């Protein structure tokens, strides 16, 4: 039930983010509409025709979306227009406060979600509203020309769990200050629930015949926390017929246990005691004979087992080792396929932005690079590829990442040509490059270098990934391959695959200096 509770709350969070994604789409349609852009760019800002066209556009676009309470479009000269399904009061002093706008400006066009717009909006009924705010940039100059605020009713939160609520299962939402926003029946029981910074936590309060499970989950990319209270009781599932059946089963079980106990004593326990006595005699030497009489076992059979037990034990050990290797291989194969889809989502989002902002040639080049990356990535199901193909995958990967982080890094390659056709396990280089980007260069806050080198030394092929990122100290390096270190998942999986493939332990070396660089050296037999 606890595992199911976690999955259900993740599902609710996904539902909510899906709804916010729809609102984001609506806001983009409004922001890029020519009528809205003309209104925001108008010098005077009081052209009646432009205002009417803009309001009609806002009505037409928002009419098909649920949960919209009101929509405001602000000009840079502090004028604004709005539409709404209910009365919403606005505090323009807060709207134009630089501290209020700071986070929105930093998002550079991405949306910010706030409850009541952090005091900028309120409804006549006093019900909280969810303010979806983002900066409007000129598509040509990418300079701010306005601000859009879409106020949503709390139904968007309530509908995310409405299909999962029941008499014994209650939900509520908290804001980022720990205040309850909405809740169903029994919401008062959530008042004393402690919400901390953990992403997910749950507590069981067990009673005699029932258990109450309290859990909460911070919804990613939002200021909201979904909390759940569920009561589990087995008594309500039992009818009078079921209780009678259970009583009969218990009685029959006791009778059977008595019979089984007698059977075990006569036919199992006593023979085993005699067998132990016999084995005690045999431990003094193979030639010593014991006088053993058993109704269901033969002395000759026992002697044969004793004589062959070491051979059989060795055979079983070898069999278990082979099974363990097979299982390890299967686990490593699964690990290789567990590639996080966020890279694809982010790349497609970046290409979508290119389609809005840049030429068709740049969009075509980005899509072609993405296609090449996944074609090489899949390699027609092959488990082995050449170093040349592995480097090509990395080139495409970093080229795609530059679409998002063009000012963050440069990539360099120093490759020994006669080694590039050697076959290696697929996808041992890309995870290392990804670690260099996300855990090295990007965290340093300045433009860095990611360098891939391939060379021969001491009858080994060295595949080296270097980055000028934040680096690591000696303690971090020692703990990197620790089983409890979640951050080293990609590196651990890669190293274990290489060890299994080449049947050797010494296959890598990490050299690093904190704040300067990190270098991972993969060493494989030539």
With 70 as the cut, is the pLDDT of residue 220 above it?
yes
Q: Cα separation of 266 and 220, whole Å?
A: 64
Task: Please name which of 60, 51, 69, 76 lies closest in space to residue 26, comparing C-alpha atoms.
Answer: 60
Q: What is the DSSP annotation of 200-226?
A: EEEEEEE-SSEEEEEEEEEPTTSS-EE
If you search the block for the tokens 């390890």, which residue do you land on? 328
Instruction: Write down the pLDDT at residue 232.
Output: 79
Q: Cα separation of 24 and 339, whole Å?
A: 27
Instruction: Write down the pLDDT at residue 176.
Output: 86
pTM above 0.85, yes or no: no
Tell me the average pLDDT across 326-341.
50
Of 518 and 288, the structure prediction assigns the larger pLDDT to: 518
Tell me the average pLDDT across 173-187.
79
Q: Cα separation of 432 and 253, whole Å?
A: 59
Which runs of consecutive H residues, i.e. helices, occur in 132-207?
155-158
**Beta-sheet pairing, 448-457 with 423-425:** unpaired
Dihedral sign, Cα of residue 238, residue 240, residue 246, residue 249: negative
**Beta-sheet pairing, 448-457 with 409-415:** parallel
Instruction: Write down the pLDDT at residue 454.
Output: 95
Task: Please name which of 76, 78, 91 lies closest in space to residue 144, comparing C-alpha atoms.
Answer: 76
Q: SS3 for 108?
A: coil
Q: SS3 for 429?
A: coil
Tell me the average pLDDT across 283-303.
51
- What angle do the packed helices 360-378 and 387-404 form, to 10 degrees? 140
Task: Please name which of 90, 94, 207 lies closest in space to residue 151, comparing C-alpha atoms.
Answer: 90
- What angle do the packed helices 48-62 and 2-31 form, to 10 degrees? 150
Question: Mean pLDDT of all residues in the chain?
Answer: 81
Q: Cα separation of 510 and 478, whole Å?
A: 10
Instruction: Write down the pLDDT at residue 86.
Output: 82
Tell me the average pLDDT across 501-523.
91
Q: What is the DSSP annotation of 11-73?
A: HHHHHHHHHHHHHHHHHHHHHT-HHHHHHHH-SSS--HHHHHHHHHHHHHHHTTSTTEEEEEE
Long-range CB pairs of 413-419, under 8 A, 24+ apart, other chains included: 413/451, 413/452, 413/453, 414/451, 414/452, 414/453, 414/454, 414/455, 415/391, 415/452, 415/453, 415/454, 416/454, 416/455, 416/456, 419/387, 419/454, 419/455, 419/456, 419/461
Instruction: Write down the pLDDT at residue 289.
Output: 47
313 falls in which pLDDT band (50, 70, 90)?
Answer: low
| Superfamily for the 1-233 domain | PAS domain (3.30.450.20)
Domain chopping of the chain, boundaries: 1-233, 240-297, 339-525
> Up-side HSE of residue 493: CA atoms within 13 Å toward CB?
23
Of 306 and 458, the structure prediction assigns the larger pLDDT to: 458
Q: Cα separation of 193 and 216, whole Å?
A: 9
* Angle, CA 37 vertex, CA 35 and CA 43 arms, to 5°: 105
* Beta bridge partner(s), residue 131: 114, 151
For the domain covering 339-525, report its CATH number: 3.30.565.10
With 60 as the cut, is the pLDDT of residue 339 above it?
no
Instruction: Write down the pLDDT at residue 45.
Output: 73
What totals of helices (H) and strands (E) does the chain contain, helices first?
16, 19
Tell me the pLDDT tens digit for each residue of 45-81. 788 898 999 999 999 998 888 889 999 999 988 889 9
């Amino acid at each position: 039930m606890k595992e199911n509770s976690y999955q259900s709350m993740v599902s609710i969070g996904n539902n909510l983010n899906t709804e916010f994604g729809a609102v984001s789409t609506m806001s983009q349609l409004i922001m890029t509409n020519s009528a809205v852009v003309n209104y925001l760019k108008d010098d005077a800002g009081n052209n009646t025709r432009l205002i009417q066209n803009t309001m009609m556009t806002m009505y037409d676009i928002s009419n098909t979306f649920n949960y919209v309470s009101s929509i405001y479009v602000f000009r840079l000269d502090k004028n604004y227009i709005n539409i709404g399904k209910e009365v919403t009061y606005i505090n323009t002093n807060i709207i134009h406060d630089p501290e209020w706008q700071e986070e929105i400006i930093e998002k550079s066009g991405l949306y910010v979600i706030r409850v009541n717009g952090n005091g900028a909006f309120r409804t006549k009924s006093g019900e909280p509203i969810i303010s979806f705010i983002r900066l409007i940039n000129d598509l040509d100059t990418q300079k701010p020309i306005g601000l859009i605020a879409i106020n949503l009713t709390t139904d968007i939160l309530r509908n995310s769990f409405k299909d999962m609520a029941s008499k014994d299962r209650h939900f509520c939402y908290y804001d980022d200050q720990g205040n309850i926003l909405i809740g169903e029946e029994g919401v008062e029981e959530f008042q004393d629930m402690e919400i901390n910074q953990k992403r997910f936590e749950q507590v069981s309060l067990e009673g005699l015949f029932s258990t109450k499970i309290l859990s909460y989950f911070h919804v990613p990319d939002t200021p909201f926390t979904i909390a759940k209270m569920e009561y589990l009781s087995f008594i309500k599932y039992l009818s009078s017929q079921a209780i009678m059946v259970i009583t009969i089963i218990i009685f029959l079980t006791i009778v059977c246990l008595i019979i089984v106990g007698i059977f075990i004593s006569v036919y199992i326990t006593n023979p085993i005691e005699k067998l132990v006595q016999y084995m005690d005699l045999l431990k003094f030497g193979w030639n010593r004979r014991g006088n053993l009489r058993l109704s269901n076992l033969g002395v000759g059979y026992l002697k044969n087992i004793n004589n062959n037990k070491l051979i059989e034990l060795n055979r079983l050990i070898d069999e278990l080792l082979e099974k363990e290797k097979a299982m390890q291989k299967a686990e490593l194969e699964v690990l290789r396929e567990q590639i996080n889809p966020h890279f694809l989502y982010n790349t497609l989002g970046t290409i979508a932005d290119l389609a809005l902002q840049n030429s068709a040639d740049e969009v075509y080049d980005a899509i072609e690079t993405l296609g090449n990356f996944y074609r090489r990535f899949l390699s027609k199901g092959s488990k082995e590829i050449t170093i040349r193909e592995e480097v090509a995958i990395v080139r495409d990967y970093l080229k795609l990442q530059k679409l998002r982080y063009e000012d963050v890094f440069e990539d360099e390659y120093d490759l020994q040509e006669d080694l590039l056709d050697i076959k290696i396990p697929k996808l041992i280089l890309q995870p290392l490059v990804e670690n260099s980007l996300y855990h090295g260069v990007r965290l340093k806050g300045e433009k860095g270098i990611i360098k891939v080198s391939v060379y021969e030394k001491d009858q080994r092929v060295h595949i080296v990934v270097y980055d000028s990122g934040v680096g690591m100290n000696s303690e971090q390096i020692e703990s990197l391959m620790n089983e409890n270190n979640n951050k080293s998942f990609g590196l651990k999986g890669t190293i274990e695959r290489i060890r299994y493939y080449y049947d050797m332990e010494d296959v890598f070396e990490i050299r690093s200096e904190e704040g300067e660089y990190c270098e991972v050296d993969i060493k494989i037999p030539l």
